[in-house]
Chains A and B, each alone.
Chain A
Amino acid sequence: MAGDHIVRIRKLEKSYVEGGRRHWILRDLDWCIERGEFVVLLGRSGSGKSTLLNLISGIDLADRGYIEVAGTDLGRLDETGRTRFRRRHIGFVFQQFNLISTLTVLENVLLPLELNGLLNETTRRRALGLLDRLGLMGRERAFPDRLSGGEQQRVAIARALIHGPALILADEPTGNLDLETGREVLALLDSLVREQGRTLVMATHSREVVGLADRILTIRHGRLEEWSR
């Protein structure tokens, strides 16, 4: 049923030209992700995991193919349209955290609400509640460079979820964290995403995450292969 798919990809192709030679990253890719799924993308460095996430979020453009996210054909949107779409429907969690260093923890979390015109007292309280849930209460006025890596990643998770996006894209979210902290962050991400009924697509090297995922796919030679458990 079409309504169950949050992401639909058809005949997707992406390549880069380097040193005069074309390198295919993704070839003839067909894929669908169902709403509420936790999907893990595995693959070696440079296999195209991040590229696929970039294409799904609309921050990069495919050479060819069709991408539909939450019922919207990204190919039909211009740059501004894709930006507005991303702002509303997608949340990001990165390996490098990518918090804004000149905003406090709370301000970083409030930013997506403000960009979507949703910032009010109720949503502000919700943000504080989320920070509390993530164990960051008392740090909301701190600036990111005063936080540990695990704390920064938890702020990034709060920022990715606060405005209720349908799709969360996480690119190596535990790549910069120690094993224990990584586990904690994954558990938090998993529980929050499932509680809120969001869809999570995570690119990772980590096998730790395999146990949490609904589906596991590997990118190899530009194509997706599904693991069966």
Chain B
Amino acid sequence: MRPLVIRAGLRSLLHHPWQLMLALFGIVMGVAVVTAMDLAKHSALVSFERAQVALFGRATHRIGATGGISESWYRRLRREGFVQSRPLVEGTVRTGSGKVVKLVGIEPLAERAFAPAWLGASPEVGKMVWRRFLLEPGAVLTSRRTAAEAGWRIGDQIPVRVAGRTETLTLIGFYETEIATDPVLIADIATAQEVLGDYGRLSAIDLIVEDRARVEELRRWLPDEMELSTQVTATDSARQMTRAFYVNLTALSLLSLLVGAFLIYNTIAFMVVQRRRLFAILRLLGLTRREILAGVLGEAVALGSVGSLLGVVAGILLGRFLLSLLARTLNDVYFPLPVAELDIPGWLLFKGGLLGLGATVIASLVPAVEASRTRPVTLVARSLQEQHSRRRVRRSALAGTAFLLAGALVLAAGKELVSGFVALTLALLGCAMLTPAIVPPVMAACRWLGFRLFGPLGAMPARSVTASLSRTGIAAAALMVAVATTIGMASMIHNFRDSVQRWLTRRLDADLYVYAAGSGERRPLPAALGERIAALPQVAAVGSVRYRRLVTKAGFLRINAYRLSPAAFATFEWVERTDRDPWRAFRRGEVMVSEAFARLRGLHAGDRVTIPTPRGPRTFSIFAVFVDYNAGRGIVAMDRRVYERFWRDDQVSTFWVYLRPGSDVEQIKTRLAGLSSEIPLEIRDNRALLQLSMRIFDQAFVVTGVLRWLATGVAFVGVFSALLALQLERSRELGVLRALGMTPGQLWGQIVAETTLLGGVSGLVAMPVGTLMGWLLAEVIDRRAFGWTLEFGLRSGDLLQGPALAVAAALAAGLYPAWKMARTPPAEALRCE
């Protein structure tokens, strides 16, 4: 490219620094959101993995069981020759300040073989400390970091709350580790059992077994209720559990990038339109099309590089914030996550930067081609320019229709996530291309109305919007995309929340729910407790469910075994079912599967599913697919009698208690709590459980909400910049109006009316497009990633938010040019290029 041509282009860009800034803002925000999300997701998993290594060291396998393992199994294992083993007790306690701290009980002598990171890096844990650790009741170790955060010093007495009791621990020493972990207190196994109330029970037994044959031997030897998993599966499990959740976040962060790309498109397209005369002169003087194309793309690459670089830096800052939110969500919904620190691998930054640069170049392609097609003859025949733009609007509408059709075809053809996202992008592009064609008829109506109400001056704003369609068309499309995105995201989140709330309200039909107190995987309750509950005079009926998690070749699987009355069974909603009577099929031994399970494995009602049972693999007929919004890889639900037959397990995870009318709920809660002396119970009524579930749901959507607000922020700036650019570009024309005698007040009215009209029409178009986006997002994220179907409805709040945002941004965008023009002498404005 030639230096003088570059200089001409560059000066032209610098002539509008605010436009450059806004284009940069689009790139920076898009890249920042994607990079931040990537870093947060990556850091959460890395942190989880590091915590695994920090705590479990060289362990290759873990034996676990729902509700824990009897201590005797540890001794039996060692007798069987599994000497490289260690017992573990895990639980959580709450400190005086309300902070949740993990309490881990260990056997120091057994730990050595495992060399966990915390032990290896603890020179301060000397002999004397170990002696106190073993002999002194309530003695605990913690990391310097945890102690510093909590304000603990060696020798401090630390009161903790667990299952309604207060216990006192004594901090006797620090262990040092470079790995950031959750606040952890390490105690001798006996101390931990005492504090947690788990006498004689272990949470898990870790093993080092390298020989595969020994592993198989062990697997056969262990009873059915015990599960042998590899340490790799712990991380895999975390990955599998969070896959859909992460897909949701990725999709929404990519959507922010898409909005950012539209902002870039809008700015570059606008800069091309602004410089059409420059391009025409250059073409006239002998610059080829290819040289113009290369010039505009070169500018885009330069802009994209600077924006992406800044975006990556902003992404790191935003990533720290998102990680803190993400860690809370993962803790509440999926698995206990250590205090996560942002891990910043170079490849993720490179990926973010490359995405930003790619999006900028792709967004600039169409304007660059437009620029290269500038005909020098337009300099001579200026009216050709608007004629061409009208032709372009028609062509763009046709292309938009084609994009919409292509989107529909892609959506129908593919069932996977990628095709869903491609369809979403195509639909959004299609609608954006159609938007400029909608502007002239709407403006014709506004012109008529303006004339009727305010005379010729009233008709001017609408006429002006149509007259400069080459500019206003681009702005309208950008506005529409920005606003539709916020409507779509809000609509998807709210519809999802509504669906979950409806589902929970329907399913939580019992009056009270009884389960073991504690957090994480809860201990099961004996079946006999159900009989004691049923014997209470106020209790009308008792149902139950047993949750089991199985490891299968196809991944993790949850079994729910229900003891249900026909009325409770009727609370299930079907996505699809066979024509057999569901209740009879259920009682007869057929199973029903959750929607997520069916979708992930491509199963339907009427198909068969094979499940590993302690009595070998068993194949069950699926009589129905039921609606379920639980996070995870899906559920197979069966009648409790069938479960007991194959698993020989009579324990219960949760009892559902139905009360007689007029019963005193608080009194019954007290009586129920007294029914179990060995296992502390937690009893919640359905309203409290609904509130708790919705709180967890809201927590899960905190990050999504932040992404939505970020997209809304980008959208607002998009709307603002498009309209601001439009008005500032018309300085000369506005100068003519001032010179002709229009007062600053009248000019202000004209400008604000114009931006508001354009904002209004874009906001109106955004309402149906946003609804379509919301539906597509629900289809892409909820249905294809999570396997959930939502009941999709229109919410007036979400819909009206679009035009409100557009008009607010339009008003804001009109203020500065109006103020500027009112202060600029007409002669000065007339000199403006």
Interface residues of A (CB under 8 A from B): 50, 54, 59-60, 79-80, 83-84, 86-88, 92, 94, 96, 98-103, 107, 110-112, 114-116, 145, 159, 171
Contacts and interface: CB of A to CB of B under 8 A. Distances in A.
Contacts of B285: 86-87, 92, 111-112, 115, 159
A171 B376 CA distance: 14
A98 B284 contact: yes
Contact of B7 (A80, A98, A99, A107): A107
Contacts of A59: 283-284, 375-377, 380
B615 interface: no
Contacts of B7: 102-103, 107
Contact of B290 (A80, A86, A145): A80
A59 B379 CA distance: 10
Contacts of B12: 102
A84 B375 CA distance: 15
Given A79-B289, A84-B288, 16 more contacts: A59-B375, A59-B376, A59-B377, A80-B288, A80-B290, A83-B286, A87-B286, A94-B379, A98-B277, A98-B281, A102-B9, A103-B4, A107-B4, A110-B4, A114-B5, A116-B286
Contact of A98 (B286, B289, B379): B379
8 contacts: A79-B289, A83-B283, A94-B380, A98-B379, A107-B8, A114-B2, A115-B287, A171-B380
A83 B377 CA distance: 12
A87 to B, nearest CB: 2
A100 B286 contact: no
A183 B469 CA distance: 40
A14 to B, nearest CB: 12
Nearest to A171: B380
A111 B5 CA distance: 8
A101 B833 contact: yes
Given A59-B377, A83-B283, A111-B285, A100 B8 contact: yes
A101 B11 CA distance: 9
Most buried by A among B4, B7, B290: B4
Given A54-B377, A103-B11, A145-B831, A114 B4 contact: yes
Shortest 7 CB-CB contacts between residues of A and residues of B: A87-B286, A102-B11, A59-B376, A101-B833, A102-B12, A83-B288, A114-B4
Interface string B793-833: 00000000000000000000000000000000000000101
B289 to A, nearest CB: 7
Nearest to A111: B4
Contacts, number: 81
Contact of B377 (A60, A107, A115): A60
A112 to B, nearest CB: 6
Interface in B92-125: none
Contacts of B381: 50
Interface string B263-299: 0000000000000011001111111111000000000
B824 to A, nearest CB: 15
Contacts of A103: 4, 7-8, 11
Nearest to B13: A102
Contacts of A80: 288-290
A79 B374 CA distance: 12
B151 interface: no
Interface in B287-317: 287-290
A113 B814 CA distance: 43
A101 B282 CA distance: 12
B286 A115 contact: yes
Contacts of B289: 79-80, 83
Nearest to A117: B2
A128 B245 CA distance: 68
B3 interface: yes
B15 interface: yes
Contacts of A116: 286
B198 to A, nearest CB: 77
Interface in B373-400: 375-377, 379-381
A2 B629 CA distance: 87
A92 B278 contact: no
Contacts of B5: 111, 114-115
